Structure 1
Amino acid sequence: MLTKPDSLIFDMDGTLWDAVDTYAHSWNVMFEELGIDKKVSRQQLSGMVGWEGKKVVEVMMPDFEPEKRWEIYGQVNEKRKVLIPQMGGILYDGVKEGLAQLAEKYQLFILSNCAAGVIRQFIDWAGIDAHITDEIAYGINFMPKQHNIKLLADKYDLKAPVYVGDTEGDGHQSRLAGIPFVFVSYGFGQTNDYDEKFDDFKSLTDYFLNL
């Protein structure tokens, strides 16, 4: 059992929602606009959820020079900012209600390997702004999650944060940051290295409310 935390830091994609269809559409629209003969499927992109942007662009555009990859990636992310409010995603069952309940007991944060601005769009789309203390994205400083976990901990003087995510990478970064990792099995990844595991968000909510 976990020692009672003072805060919960959530991954976004695969933990709070599934927006892979919107993300794939943003890539495909941009490729079409730029005249690039390439199409990304949901299956391809779902396997990259949680990756840092640098790794995504290397796999997505191996034939392009690094500078060109980042240029296109920037355009994709701008397109995404237009599409997310229109298309949204699938909020996992129990997330909205659960965050409202958890926020009465813990400080809640969102930390994701996404581009700058995307977490804020998700928060606005999901209507959860009142429950989230702060957020930080990879696109803010291009640093790994372990670094950004420590930034949040320092900024808010967190004594016992816990990271909640859905991939092996999330667990690895939590270990590097020196904090417990809670795995949600309904997302995009698999791992056996976790301190607690939940198969749905309601179970996670109930556990932390009763801790």
Structure 2
Amino acid sequence: MQKPDSLIFDMDGTLWDAVDTYAYSWNVVFNELGVDITVERDQLAKMVGWEGKKVISAIMPDFDVEKRQEIYALVNEKRRTLLPQNGGILYDGVKEGLQQLATKYPLFILSNCAKGIIRLFIDWAGIDEHITDELAYGVNFMPKQHNIKLLMEKHKLQNPVYIGDTAGDGEESRKAGIPFVFVSYGFGITDDYNLKFDDFKSLTDYFMDF
């Protein structure tokens, strides 16, 4: 693997765990609408990293597309209200690691989340000064491989790597033509990676010494 000129991070399962808040936002909306569906943490954790249309199909299989999208919009609205208050769990070493890495690399966050969620995470975590740019699936509803290329073109990145926690992250990295760095402490499992780290400090130390 060539020396990278930038690091692009996934968010959920890589930088933090906000699944409890995500599940709560679903359940509050379902309760308000009188819908007899309960979303459990374990159920939602398995969907982390999925594109929104796949998530809503799995959670609301008996609803038509229009109704799913209508409810999902309400869930994301509720999520935007809850995240600044409830937040999530920032993984050990992330804040300190990003601070160090930003002295050597431009840092980006790219996630399959709704529009505005990455910004809420950045503000909640207090890492704005370390992040060069971010891009969410909800901005253009395009897959990660496409959005990786958009960031590369916009910022003239030559050798970025994508850092994530699922097999899907690895697949999208390959399609974008860049190396994939897998963090094993998140939600997914895969054997297809260029590098693997079991904690964020090890990742930070490696790239600071690269």
* Poorly superposed stretches of 4+, deviation over 4 Å: none
Letter of the 2:147 counterpart: N
Task: In structure 2, give the amino acid aligned to 1:73.
Answer: Y
2:34 partner letter: G
CA deviations 1:78-98 (Å, max 9, x no partner) are: 000000011000000000000
**1:90 aligns to 2:94 (yes or no):** no
Where does residue 190 of structure 1 map in the other structure?
Answer: 189
Q: Distance in 2 between matches of 1:28 and 1:4?
A: 44
**RMSD value, Cα:** 0.3
Matches within 5 A, 1:66-105: 66-105=65-104
Q: Aligned residue pairs: how many?
A: 210
Which amino acid in the other structure matches residue 151 of structure 2?
L
Task: Report the 3-state secondary structure (helix = DSSP H, G, I; strand = E; otherwise coil) of the residue aligned with 2:83.
Answer: helix
**Letter paired with 1:166:** D
Q: For 1:149 and 1:34, how far apart are their aligned partners in 2?
A: 37
* AA in 2 matched with 1:15: T
Distance 1:202 1:92 in 2: 10
| Partner Cα separation in structure 2 for residue 3 and residue 206 of structure 1 | 17
Q: Distance in 2 between matches of 1:90 and 1:121?
A: 14
Partner of 2:5: 6
Superposed CA offset, 1:109-168 (max 9, x none): 000000000000000000000000000000000000000000000000000000000000
In structure 2, list runs of 5 or more residues that go unmatched.
Answer: none
| TM-score relative to the length of structure 2 | 1.00
Is structure 2 residue 53 aligned with structure 1 residue 49? Answer: no
- Alignment of 1:18 with 2:14, yes or no, is no
Letter in 1 for 2:126: G
CA distance in 2, matches of 1:190, 1:158: 28
Matched with 1:58 is 57
For the residues of structure 2 that align with 1:42 and 1:35, how far apart are their CA atoms?
A: 20
Aligned to 2:119: 120
Query: SS at 2:12's partner residue?
Result: coil
Name structure 1 gaps, 5 residues minimum. Answer: none
Q: Which residue of 2 aligns with 1:176?
A: 175
Distance in 2 of aligned mates of 1:156 and 1:48 = 30
CA displacement at 1:3 relative to structure 2: 1.4
Between the aligned partners of 1:120 and 1:149, the Cα distance in structure 2 is 18
Question: Which residue does the alignment assign to 2:106?
Answer: 107
* Counterparts of 1:119 and 1:67, CA distance in 2: 25
C-alpha separation in 2, matches of 1:49 and 1:180:
21
What letter is aligned with 2:168? G
User: TM-score by structure 1 length?
Assistant: 0.99
Q: Secondary structure at the match of 1:63?
A: coil
